[in-house]
Structure 1
């Protein structure tokens, strides 16, 4: 019975994962867009006050910068942030190389742009200048400022764009310094844009799972207090069918992908909203060149002649690490995609994270989490194993009933149920622990799938990355062996053919674990070993009790 319950449990779990995967593929199809068409002139302002469209990215001189967490380049065209590498995170193909998040050439187009709306004001197509070609955060220095200046326009307006990097932070302060040298008040709006193609992230296309590639959301997202967290798939933008809150005095706009994200933060966690008296406007769209943009537009208060005005917005560009994203902005933790199992995944990962703070190794943290889960479920498991032990003792009598009634299945079923009632055995008594563990299993699966903390995190020996499959398949083999041992401890079905099938099926199902992330297989191997130990112990206790009862009789 236990084998059949185990198979049922695994089948239900795989079924949920399979249909969730198919639903995600249907709901969030990833498309690769070609680059074509042209855009409006450099300083053209859209009639609706939106940021101007973008043509193919022009490339000019590059201003390089290096901090303790970033290395990258700013192009003098628009003073765009064109390349950004995360020094503390390795590339998927070569962990020794820094992971590239933003880039304007190669496999992806993904950059951060800003500009000002108004005749003669610099946009993301204007040419800026920099006092020096490279900047570096020196030892003992807490911040690094990279200043670029646009030529004064015909009205005498001078604009500078300053990137300020802070040691240890994945938030980049991007500010405009606007000096109105004209004779009239200046009104303008500033737009802050994330520009990206529609290709899935490298991590999403290469993260192994039982169905080949783990499907995780890639695309823009908006958060406001009114609309909360709203993901918008690229296909909705293609059809102009996207719905989201388009103006608010708070929130943020982001581009989300597996493990990493970038976002313009309008209302930071520890500061006032930059929207001011007028609400910020959020604009998600597909541009004429096939790229996608996620914009936040801020109205700048009128600047009097001879006055100066600064407007500043933070750009987050980094990993979806829980300890980091929890402090960025309200609701920003929602970019870490746990799917429909968030209610289970978040608390499970929180416990796992607390354990990791003590032991310092994610593999051992998973083992300790498994032991904790087994301890919490022990009362249910004990009930299940006692039921199975009674079923094992009834196996000879079940065989006698089968021989007595021959091929009359109805009478055999009736006699079996009568035997259960007489011996006070519930044939379904072992199912509850299995059913209870399904949401835990699913929650842990998505917690590990979403956890950038486990990306390239080593365990022991040959396991150098718990987020991908075991390269030598040792863990899946141990998983197969543990499942087979469980079949030997379980009461065999009365039908010999069914008994053989029950021994083969766990081996068949275990093949799926060859494609699971190593961290999840670690959990399941340890879970099986603990289950075998519990079952053996409880069965021994029941045997001792039965012998004592017989001796007294």
Structure 2
């Protein structure tokens, strides 16, 4: 490997190392929260009618009281009459106070790998520390006021159905006592999609005007917030053809909108939009009809520390004796690729797959995930699927690798002539460069060709890291033995002799876990070290020292990465070693791996070939 290639690898490695250290030492700060009260807001529609927006807080404007230590989730849920939700994918209940969908658990996902682990809770009622719910209602227009329309605290009655299942919808009803009868019809499928139909029957002798809305609100930041630079958490929305993401810690800094009374972002969608909150693996999203115009609103309420997304639909008019109705959807569940793809392709939700955080390299992460998902379906083991994916990627890059390693072999053959040029040029750098270029041209060697596989590996590596870190399909995916979650770091540790000693390994994310690494990080370090020994150590003592430490620095730095990523990298290093060794030998240059190892151990300069 020539000096130019060594410098490139060194610069890449050190840059990656600096980025890792920066984000470990300086994570994004948490937003500052205030606690005053804020009133409801009023806006004017296109025809000049006043519309009072829904109160931003589910209790009507006051900060909700949290459950005491003695009060359990069951106690909070028991404070209101409820309709049970039972499907293969979710379970929970709907509160008749406000008709809020505020109790939802994901049946197929557990918090941990322990046998007694509870299922993942997605939505929670007001009164719990992390209230998170969907709320629907009507904003009054014209002569109507808040008392004339259902809102956050309306006491609905059951009109039909007492349990919500895929085969049995439910209907709620509320009459305002002044001639308007409101109904809400709720359906759910086998997965995570609700369909909510809101209607109003006008039995008066005057036109009634109002605007339907949907809200997803969460009180405070989620306790499992990752706050990691590679992952988006917060608002995700589709505005016509574009994707928009707003992180939680950016919401308090939204431009103050006078008509909202709070920091807010209001965007008018002409068609094909949706908005909601996304976590690492879960999502709650409001989805109006796909050709339905609406206002997509992101709002932070400092009065009660509430993060809120809203879908405000246009004002509707109900003539005397007329009933008007609007249907929207609510996705509340896991970001399963196949499920979301079906909602996009068969349900007509435009670009719904973009709700998964594919990142800047989406043109790589999407096909890489598709291939990984397909391989997993064929093989049945995600770890083996990662290995198969690595082999496919290395096979696709083999033509470039071949040219690179052939070039490196020829560079080795030119090493004596290059050393002679250095002695002849002395301190004259320009003369040395001119002589080297003539030498390369004469022997038809391109020194830059050795960089191409390395440069292509960098975006592929980051894309695969993104896929393993973000996608739900890798969560708690087992490999073999102790590797029971490829999205988590290797749980083995030198600290307890890899399980032979009777004490637990260090907690992930601690200094002890970083120092006492597991089997996969060790294999990674060894594979990088062996790959390095295909070439003699640099003649420059400083470069030689840096390159000697690099494999072990990476071993410690990457030891806390997802084990699935380490499986990829170990496989990649092993295949790269085999490719480089065999290709260089085919060109007449035999890498002296054992000789280079002996030289590095004895700290003596290896003999020239």
TM-score range normalised by the length of the shorter chain: 0.7 to 0.9
- What is the distance in 2 between the residues matched to 1:30 and 1:225? 31
Q: Which residue of 1 aligns with 2:270?
A: 248
Q: Which residue of 2 aligns with 1:230?
A: 244
Superposition deviation, residue 500 in structure 1: 3.8
User: Is 1:389 the counterpart of 2:409 in the alignment?
Assistant: yes
CA separation of 1:70/1:49 partners in 2, compared to 1, >3 Å: closer, same or farther?
same
Q: Which residue of 1 aligns with 2:544?
A: 499
TM-score by length of 1: 0.82
Match of 1:157 among 172, 180, 192: 180
> Which segments of 5 or more consecutive residues in structure 1 lack a partner in the other structure?
206-212, 547-553
Report if the CA contact (8 A) 1:203-1:259 is conserved. Answer: no
Q: Which residue of 2 aligns with 1:291?
A: 306
Match of 2:325 among 293, 310, 327: 310
Superposition map of 1:152-551 within 5 A:
152-167=175-190, 169-199=191-221, 202=224, 204-205=226-227, 213=228, 215-225=230-240, 228-234=242-248, 236-241=250-255, 245-268=267-290, 273=291, 275=292, 279-287=293-301, 288-299=303-314, 301-326=316-341, 327-328=343-344, 329-393=349-413, 410=429, 413=432, 425-472=445-492, 473-496=518-541, 498-543=543-588
Report if the CA contact (8 A) 1:9-1:434 is conserved. Answer: no
- What is the distance in 1 between the residues matched to 2:253 and 2:584? 61
Secondary structure at the counterpart of residue 533 of structure 2: helix
Q: Which residue of 2 aligns with 1:31?
A: 31
Q: Which residue of 2 aligns with 1:111?
A: 133
- What is the distance in 1 between the residues matched to 2:312 and 2:400? 55
- What is the distance in 1 between the residues matched to 2:50 and 2:207? 21
Secondary structure at the counterpart of residue 169 of structure 2: strand
Q: Which residue of 2 aligns with 1:121?
A: 149
How far does the alpha carbon of each residue in 1:339-379 deviate from its partner, in whole angstroms, 9 at most, with x for none?
Answer: 22222212222222222232232222211111111011111
Q: Which residue of 2 aligns with 1:551?
A: none
- What is the distance in 2 between the residues matched to 1:299 and 1:497? 69
Q: Which residue of 2 aligns with 1:53?
A: 56
CA separation of 1:359/1:461 partners in 2, compared to 1, >3 Å: closer, same or farther?
same
Number of paired residues?
Answer: 516
Match of 1:97 among 102, 112, 118: 118
How far does the alpha carbon of each residue in 1:306-336 deviate from its partner, in whole angstroms, 9 at most, with x for none?
Answer: 4433322110112222222232411222221
TM-score by length of 2: 0.75
CA separation of 1:515/1:223 partners in 2, compared to 1, >3 Å: closer, same or farther?
same
Secondary structure at the counterpart of residue 222 of structure 1: strand
- What is the distance in 2 between the residues matched to 1:458 and 1:499? 39
Superposition deviation, residue 49 in structure 1: 4.3
Superposition deviation, residue 75 in structure 1: 2.1
**Which has the larger displacement, 469-478 or 50-59?**
50-59
- What is the distance in 2 between the residues matched to 1:85 and 1:303? 37
How far does the alpha carbon of each residue in 1:423-445 deviate from its partner, in whole angstroms, 9 at most, with x for none?
Answer: 55444431111012212112222
- What is the distance in 2 between the residues matched to 1:172 and 1:460? 38
Superposition deviation, residue 34 in structure 1: 5.8
Report if the CA contact (8 A) 2:35-2:305 is conserved. Answer: yes
CA separation of 1:497/1:239 partners in 2, compared to 1, >3 Å: closer, same or farther?
closer
Superposition deviation, residue 251 in structure 1: 1.5
CA separation of 1:82/1:405 partners in 2, compared to 1, >3 Å: closer, same or farther?
same
Q: Which residue of 2 aligns with 1:209?
A: none
Superposition deviation, residue 299 in structure 1: 3.6
- What is the distance in 2 between the residues matched to 1:481 and 1:438? 20
- What is the distance in 2 between the residues matched to 1:542 and 1:234? 56
CA separation of 1:536/1:250 partners in 2, compared to 1, >3 Å: closer, same or farther?
closer
Secondary structure at the counterpart of residue 285 of structure 1: strand
Superposition deviation, residue 175 in structure 1: 2.1
Superposition deviation, residue 130 in structure 1: 4.0
- What is the distance in 1 between the residues matched to 2:312 and 2:318? 17
Relative contact order, CA 8 A, sep 6+: which one is greater?
A: 1
CA separation of 1:504/1:234 partners in 2, compared to 1, >3 Å: closer, same or farther?
closer
> Which segments of 5 or more consecutive residues in structure 2 lack a partner in the other structure?
66-75, 256-263, 493-517, 592-609
CA separation of 1:400/1:240 partners in 2, compared to 1, >3 Å: closer, same or farther?
closer
- What is the distance in 2 between the residues matched to 1:107 and 1:223? 29
CA separation of 1:295/1:201 partners in 2, compared to 1, >3 Å: closer, same or farther?
same
Superposition deviation, residue 456 in structure 1: 1.4
